[in-house]
Amino acid sequence: MSTKRDKELARAKWERQQVRRAARAQRQSIINRSILAGIVVIGIAAYAIANKPASTTVSKPSQSASSNANTAAGCKSTGPLKTAAKQYQSAPLTGTPAKNLILNTNCGRIALALDQKAPQTSNVMTHLAKDGYFDMTACHRLTTSGFYVLQCGDPTGTGTGSPGFKFADENLPNANGASTYNYNRGTIAMANGGPGTNGSQFFIVYNKSPLPPNYSIWGHVTSGLDVVDRIAAAGVQGGGTDGKPNANVVIERAQAQ
């Protein structure tokens, strides 16, 4: 039979075993938590790298891309641009308008015949050309989907520049109440910000374009549409369909004849 002393020794042994087991369990728990923490940190780091957001900086077209577009469009390098629009007190609506306007661009020569049905617009454009207003100015807008135009006539190159005056519309197309009118290839019309806001900006239509009949037609291209076609084929900056041309298009000199 076990004595009382034997029972006490057995109980003490059992208690020591329980203490050792508890200590081992605690050490293992600490190790497991450390491993788990390491896994979490590694996982977070891996996720952060894999899901790093792209840069939000909008890159400008590289010189090589611009050079390639100029080459494709047949545009040569040119001198410094005019960046400020000369201001006039009033629109030069009277006088003897020219019959033709020649746009000598760095991409080629574009010849325009002025429309006698738009005498005031023709007078304004003749005066601005003779005054050198368009010389060394960039064509600031190209559209290649929906409607197809090359827009010029703003020395600031922003699309907001003007000669300081506004004048009324004339020779608007008769759309017989329709909301759109097909401005045919080769048409020259005034750009505007609404009725009676014509200034100096104009656009050349290089493909039939359905537009509201709100833009004064003042001429048509007699030669040089191939120049506009090349500019259009070079595309729009950033790969869109409406914006600055990829090719650097500059009216080096406008001649009224």
Instruction: Summarize pLDDT for 132-157 with one digit per residue, the tens.
Output: 999 999 999 999 999 999 999 999 99
CA–CA dist 26, 31 (Å, integer): 9
More confident residue, 6 or 222: 222
Q: Are residues 121 and 31 in the same domain?
A: no
153 and 43 co-located in one domain: no
Q: Does residue 198 belong to any structural domain of this protein?
A: yes
Are residue 7 and residue 93 in the same domain, yes or no? no
For residues 154 and 130, is the Cβ–Cβ distance under 8 A?
A: no
Domain containing 28: what range? 1-52
First-to-last alpha carbon distance for the chain, in angstroms, is: 135
Residue 82 to residue 155: CA distance in whole angstroms = 6
Number of domains in the chain: 2
In this structure, are 43 and 67 located in the same domain?
no
Reported confidence tier of residue 38, pLDDT bands at 50, 70, 90: very low
Yes or no: say if 159 and 167 are a contact pair by the CB < 8 Å rule: no
Mark whether 30 and 2 lie in a shared domain: yes
CATH code of residue 150: 2.40.100.10
Mean pLDDT of the chain: 85
What is the pTM for the complete model shown?
Answer: 0.75
Kindly report, residue by residue over 196-208, the tens digit of the pLDDT.
999 999 999 999 9
Name the more confident of 120 and 30: 120
Last residue of a domain, one of 14, 31, 52: 52
